[in-house]
Amino acid sequence: MIEAMIDYDSDVMMVSSVKNKEVALRLNRAALVGKKVFSSVASNDTTTAIYQLMEMQADPLLATPAPVVLVAQKLLRKLCTDCREQVPLDTPQLQRLGVTFKPTERRQIYEARGCEHCNHLGYSGMTALHEVFEISEADRQVILKGGTASAIREQARQRRRLISMTEDGVYKSLIGLTSLEEVANTVLIHEGDLNTPRNVEDIYYLCNGQA
């Protein structure tokens, strides 16, 4: 089926999931002939997806000269805009999320309160946390040498400023989209992120595209 899709004259190809090495090889072939390929891998974050592909022995897909971008996301509840409340930064909660805090920082976050518009839940609707990882040549070298997911992640954070879903959640609590409590209940903190912690101010500017 995938082979037939490759031969079909289309610019975009979508395959539900990368289930095994054979599927990965065919997707790589499609990308190499110029198609924009979309697929999925069930995982906790972008570097866990890379590890799963390594376990499948899908090295050609990971080492391909075609651009490879992984996007991870988790859904969580959105604060009600009618009753959300701005409060000082919650230092203990930030520490549990692996985020550092400077005493001189004066930023505030938003918390849920509850009102008639949200049925007294404090939340209304959904939003998402995202993590985007574009595989670079340096990353490919680590992958081909059998590097761990943590090693790949630390390199990406140090060299190319990978923003984790946790940090995206902290940013979204700063701008009033969700709360730190909801972020803490949604994300799983990667061990590699604890080795390369960031402070609230850095996260704000990184996520705001000002770093």
How many C-beta atoms surround the C-beta of residue 128 within 10 A?
16
Residue listed under structure tokens 């790949």? 152
* Mean pLDDT for all residues in the chain: 88
Three-state DSSP class for residue 13:
strand
Alpha helix positions (H), the chain: 2-7, 21-32, 46-55, 59-63, 91-96, 137-144, 149-160, 165-174, 180-186, 191-195, 200-207
pLDDT at 186: 94
CB atoms within 10 A of CB 40: 12
Dihedral sign, Cα of residue 129, residue 135, residue 138, residue 140: positive
39-81 pLDDT, tens per residue? 999 888 998 898 888 888 887 788 888 899 999 999 999 999 9
Element holding 85 (H helix, E strand): strand 85-88
**AA identity, residue 192:** G
Burial of 37 (0-12, 13-18, 19+ CB in 10 A): buried
Q: What is the pTM of this model?
A: 0.88
Give the pLDDT band of residue 87 (cuts 50, 70, 90).
very high
